[in-house]
Structure 1
């Protein structure tokens, strides 16, 4: 198949029109976030529910935002169906949020690194939309990047046409948070014990580097 045909037939990322509003108070704290995403899903449902969900709920992290509203719409269109494409649902709206945050910092003459550091979620907390945060290395990441890049020497001081920037990302791991709230099992495992004492584990969890196969083997071994 030629490369052009792959692009035409691939279940790629959802094109998204994003409208976003955000407020900063006098201390540089994010006071609210209001997001409206219109998502082009192509011809079929595919990952539509999940992608629409991720467009909103993942947009507020890694910042501590107490006032948050999200309105998402996904439309069927006469195009190739869109699917899960590396961080699906989180990348488009994340770009919009980080860009707007930079614009707010520029208008208020605030340092984008400082604003992000002042708004980070702490370790061992729960976000306003119910995500549980355990360890959190974002602060260390920003501080080390700031030092290594010589941010304080370069920011707003480089010649025309050159610049330096910062942005943060946020995604879930070990997701046990239900998207469909019902009483049905969200995931099941079938275990078969063979005559020779061997154990076979059947599970629909796809191992894509997150460690699910290792976790299942450890659970069975316990």
Structure 2
């Protein structure tokens, strides 16, 4: 798992780039690490803890996935064939669709954290990281970027192992609090982003995978917020 940290977080450790795609099964194991600081903030109930928790999260994971969400949204909103959509997604300038997507993702996360237990951020990150694994498992890359490199290394064994780890981390919390299952709504949202990417772009790149991660996390927190208020 150590080799994943420099590429999926801002944690300064030395990793072997050549070994990363052989350790993608460990993506769900990153969730306790990436959510730790934000979860601590929520547990301590500090003033503006929901805002501070999101800041702590992005301090840990960086803004690369959020940037990917912006690019993905710009590509999705362009009318025309796949080539035009992919060109818009790869454009270095962020359009209004990308800006709107980023603002909404941040708003939903900050607002939802007020309505859920302190461990909700961990559940959201767990589903986010597992959704990234599912996206890579499609093995349908766009171009020859980093996403394609990672997709080349993933196989059924890695997917099965990653799924087992995901369930081992998820099920204890579901047993303690059944409403935690609401976090799976985020996973459904992430799966829909994968579907939209395949349909509109013919595959996935790093931007698409970033969008999967961000929308899954926001969807998980929103789903839990709704369920916690209703049930």
User: Does TM-score exceed 0.5, indicating one fold?
Assistant: no
Instruction: Determine which structure has greater relative contact order: mean sequence separation of CA pairs < 8 Å that are 6+ residues apart, divided by chain length.
Output: 2
- The structure in which a higher percent of residues are strand is 1
TM-score by length of structure 1 reads 0.30
TM-score by length of structure 2 reads 0.30
